Structure formats: C-alpha cells, structure tokens
Structure 1
Amino acid sequence: MDRLSVEQFAEAVVDVHKKIGAAFVTLEKTSEKFIFTNTMSPFGSAAKSLPGLSILTSSILGTMAVKSFGYAKVSMRKTLAKDGEDFIIIYNRKTEDSEKEKATDYVET
C-alpha cells in the first residue's frame, strides 16, 4: 500500500468500510488525528453480541494508518457492541493528547 495523504486516508477508510457494509463517517481529519463514527456493521445486529469485533476494527485501521504515516494509535472510545455505534480516534503522530490516550499503538516494522 502506498502512503496516503490525510485526505486520501480518510476517503480510503470510509470507502473500504462501505464496501464491506459498514457506515463510516469522517468527523475530523488533521495532520495529527482522525475521528470517525460508524453506525453499521457488516455482521448486522450480530455485532451487538460480538465485542471482539472492535479489536478487528482497531487492527484494520491501525494497520492502514501506520502504512501511510509510520505511526498510529487507535482509540475505540465507543463500540457498536457496547454503545450501539463506533467512535474512533486515530492518532497518526505522537502528540501530548495521544500520549494521554489509553489505546493501541501501531508501529511500522
């Protein structure tokens, strides 16, 4: 995967997830972080009983981000299983805010 710009990354996240049946919306995109929401799962209502899907979502987004920016930290603030929607923050560089966040770090290998 080629490195993507901030704009391209946000578009790719929405597009990839749309193709599999999710409904991602970009709330914020900056040189430091992205914020997305999602209200639909490719697994339908079964997602509400599968909290482990948030780990898969985090891993996919973290991998996409680290390949574009060299660093990613993914915070699943809300999940479909627990909250009825995803609220996801992806930090694409280390910042004071990202360091405070209890989330999963992804690094380029």
Structure 2
Amino acid sequence: MSQPVDVEIDLDRDVFLRTLVRELATSLESVIGLEEASGYISLVGQAVGTQIDDMYLKALGTDRLSREQVAEALVDLKRRIKGDFYLIEHDETKIVLGNRACPFAEKVLGRESMCMMTSNVFGTIAARNLGYASVELQETIARGDAGCRVVVHLVPGGGPTSGREYFADAEPAAGGPGAGTVPA
C-alpha cells in the first residue's frame, strides 16, 4: 500500500502559497466584487512595496533610488520571485515594462485583482523614490494576454486616467482602499 510520502504530487511551499493567494482573491472577488477585491489586495501590495523598497535602499546604501535604479529594481524584484519582467523603455516621464511569466504562474489566470500586487508594489517604489507614479496595466496575463505590459508614469497628468496614482508618501489617491483615481 502506497503512503502519502511516496506519491508524486505538485505541492511545495511555493505552490501552496500561490494557491492560498489565488483562493483569497477568489473569495474576495466573489463576495465583494472585482473592484473592491482589488482595493483590498492593493493595501497588501502597498505594504509589501514599502518593505521591498526599504530592502533596496538599505542594500544600496542610499535614501532614494534614481529613476534608472527604480527601473532596475522593478525588474530585479520580479526576477527574484520568478517573474520574467524586462525593461522596454524608460525616460523622465515613464518606465515601460513587459513580462513573459507571472510570479503567480497559472494561479493568476482569471484573477485580475491579483495584478494589484504588481501595481501597488511598482507604484509604491516609484512614488517613494521619484515623488509620483501612476501605474497602468495595459496588458496582463490574468486577463488572458500572452504577457503583461505595465507603464509606470512618473509625471502627474502625463498618463491616462485609467492608472492608479501613488504619491511620495506612498499613500494611494482618494477613491478607495489602494485605489487611484480610476481602477486599472
């Protein structure tokens, strides 16, 4: 008779935690709706973004990252958690990133609220260091796109109204928990 320890199943800490986050997002979306679920997940993303930003600041021995360092940190942090983000372009008004693999892997499919982790982590880091960010999720794997395209606008009014805004104090704009002017 086989024992549980002898069978091959796809279960480890990573799969368990990704499944946990997906099921939390599923529960929130089904109980309170996509927009409100995104708001709650945004609060978590903001806290995580602050912690990650502090890690980079400490490791680099600085109190503020340059625009180039912010762009590099956004790509690096996603690489560390098994995303496949890459820099498409950046200038004084925006940072444009692409992505071929979500850190949540297949668990993100159909759970757009989980993308608020990316929006808020990116927005919090950019705003804390550069003063302002508006994050626009143009394409997402969660929505069924082949990859993600994320634009981090660095100038107020320089981006579309569909992004979530973040300010230097890392507080999201008015409009609900973690929400910018209009949800992405």
TM-score with structure 2 length normalisation?
Answer: 0.55
1:86 maps to 2:148: yes
In structure 1, stretches of 5+ residues that fail to align are none
Which has the larger Rg?
2
Displaced runs of 4 or more, over 3 A: none
More strand by share: 1
Instruction: Look up the match of 1:101.
Output: 161
The residue type paired with residue 60 of structure 1 is: V
Instruction: Look up the match of 1:56.
Output: 117
Instruction: Look up the match of 2:130.
Output: 69
Q: What is the DSSP-based 3-state SS (H/G/I as helix, E as strand, rest coil) of the residue aligned with 1:76?
A: strand
Instruction: Look up the match of 1:18.
Output: 79
Distance 2:66 2:129 in 1: 7
Residues 134, 154 of structure 2: 8 Å contact kept: yes
Instruction: Look up the match of 2:103.
Output: 42
Distance 2:90 2:115 in 1: 21
Larger mean CA deviation between 39-48 and 54-63 belongs to 39-48
Distance 2:155 2:117 in 1: 21
Shift of 1:44: 1.5
Residues 32, 91 of structure 1: 8 Å contact kept: yes
More helix by share: 2
1:6 maps to 2:67: yes
The residue type paired with residue 13 of structure 1 is: L
Which structure carries more relative contact order (alpha carbon 8 Å, separation 6+)?
Answer: 1
> Deviations along 1:56-85, whole A, 9 cap, x unmatched?
110000001001111000000111111131
Distance 1:61 1:29 in 2: 14
Q: What is the DSSP-based 3-state SS (H/G/I as helix, E as strand, rest coil) of the residue aligned with 2:112?
A: coil
TM-score with structure 1 length normalisation?
Answer: 0.90
Distance 2:106 2:165 in 1: 29
In structure 2, stretches of 5+ residues that fail to align are 1-53, 55-62, 170-184
What RMSD over aligned residues (CA atoms) do the two structures have, in Å? 1.3
